[in-house]
Structure 1
Amino acid sequence: MIRRLTLTLALLLGAALPACVLAQDTASAPASAPPGTAPETTPPASEAENASLELVRKGDDGQERRIRIVRTGTSDETGIFTICGRQDDEPEDAPSLAVFSETGPGGVRITIDKNVIRVPLALVTQRQGENGEGGDGRVEASAGTARFLDEVPPGKTDRLSRCAVEATPKPTPDTVLVTQGKTELKGKQLVYDESDGIARIDGPISFTRPSEDGALTGTSERIEVNVDEEQTVLVGNVVLNSKGGRVSKAARVEYDDQANTARLIGTPEQPAESVQGGDVLRAQELLYDLDRNEVVARAGEGGTITGTFQDGEESGSSPGSGTATPAPVTPPPATPAPPAP
């Protein structure tokens, strides 16, 4: 698999420098600004004037998929943006480290696939390869702050300290804010790595999707956003609570707010389950229509569909009360009748 990195002009300029530099997409930082000193800036006329970068990932299918990171604020009082490049005594392939921090209401905005993620602090590590190109790097984002230091702290040897920058991540529940369409999710910490192209948001995860008839709410242990597959998955003890008292559970849920669907995926040992009143539907896979509050059961290869309904009878393929409907199950081949004597 070949993956390349394309960055905005701001990062391309900064990554080649040996020490801490400041960058804006409009190159508003004065050339004479010394390392560790925030430049004077004017309020931006558009988002393009904010500090930003793009990581571009090329997958096996040859398609480019972008991760965009923007510091929404411009005031020195609410945050910083800086790139700490390779130091003189480090190897040629030493990575650059970009720091985004913003305590204002817009925070640092990270866009991954259909998800817009807002955090106070993001650190982006990227190693340069041949011809100045490299992988799509690593992103670590959470609550926390960053600031410029007046001087390099004595005895400190880490990259940021040598650039006179201090970053203090503080992973905290409900501080990583994810928006996908109408759905809002909250987590504790985001980590994206180029090794597998998956952004993992640690939980506990809580989310809500408002509607006129009542909100869909739920929880999970974490979120995984697969950049190559353009897929968002809730992982680990996923529970969905919806209007009408329906409670649905699964080990994994592929979530797509735009398509208004949640695909609940179970295991042979722990099938996906949807319960409403006295109706219980279990299958290896349940397809949940988020707008209509309807569930369709699908049996995987060798799997089964079971249900318990309000009349007390169990069924392998019987529909529930109009909102939990198993998909048709292919009957076994008929046994031929014995030949006439």
Structure 2
Amino acid sequence: MSSPAQESRWETLETSDPLLSVRNLEKYFPITEGLFQRHVGDVKAVDGVSVDIQRGETHGLVGESGCGKSTLLETMIGLQSPTGGEVYFRGQPLTELSKGEMQDLRKEVQIVFQNPDSSLNSRMTVERIVGEPLHIHSGATDRQITARTLDLIHDVGLNTEHLGRFPHELSGGQKQRVAIARALATNPSLVVLDEPTSALDVSVQSQILNMLNRLKEEHDLTYVFVTHDLSVVRHIADRVSVMYLGNVVERGLVSDLFEDPKHPYTKALLSAVPVPDPDYDDTDDIILAGDVPDPSNPPSGCRFHTRCPIAEEECAEGFPEFETHGDTEVRCIRVDENTDLT
């Protein structure tokens, strides 16, 4: 069943690639102190990120906790106001949209949060939770909304009996299925997923990931998938951007990332992925020294040089621009010399 919420100004725009584009995006959080809250610095959560999300792909954003993935996600879809840079959706800069156009954008771009316990209203039944976006964004009748809600519940693998339940009566996997059904209610073209499986058991994670892949094909969706789990990225993503301390340091096809990573940080992340082999020799694993630097006072030059096992003095002098190596883009002046990091 097609919902009236599907109709928006975005339908009339010419389809173009990329679907969503980020250019030099910055998101700083001010640091204040004293009685008059004097501005003394900024936490540079996102610091000059550029990335393109192509229509129909699943684009992964990966990196350690605190590297800026979730902040980037929220800023690129308008939940946070950028400090600098620009976000384009189908070629339209978000900063130039009127209030009504932003309302239309909400139908086209939906988000699934990490923890369904905090993202679902505990006082609403499943039927109300999934149907709420249609009440807000469409002129559908109650009967149409009920029918659409039932279709969505079945799409995510739940039954009619779940409609009258409250979130506390559901398992973790069932709650996340409800959150995904709610995100699909307005027939969006882009769904952003902020670590949607990290709070779930491993067996449930695989079910949710397989369901997301199926829904992507059935509903012609584009995904942005945030995670720190590279095994999840390998399973679901087409392209990936690797983030470190508010910056993207490598981006390209997932197959290239796993077969031939270029950046030392990417190699360290892949080295940390558990290997299901009791006889695995971990002597070649890359162990990074030190902690992630303070984002309010990032290192000069390459942000990774303070922990990089092959860094030289030159690495502290300037942050390198992206260089293309095949289908991969990487920010590292020693990309041709870091084959062996051990």
TM-score, scaled to structure 2? 0.25
For the pair shown, which has the larger CA radius of gyration, 1 or 2? 1
Structure with the bigger percentage of helix: 2
TM-score, scaled to structure 1? 0.25
Flag the structure with more relative contact order, 1 or 2, with Cα contacts below 8 A and sequence separation at least 6: 2
Structure with the bigger percentage of strand: 1
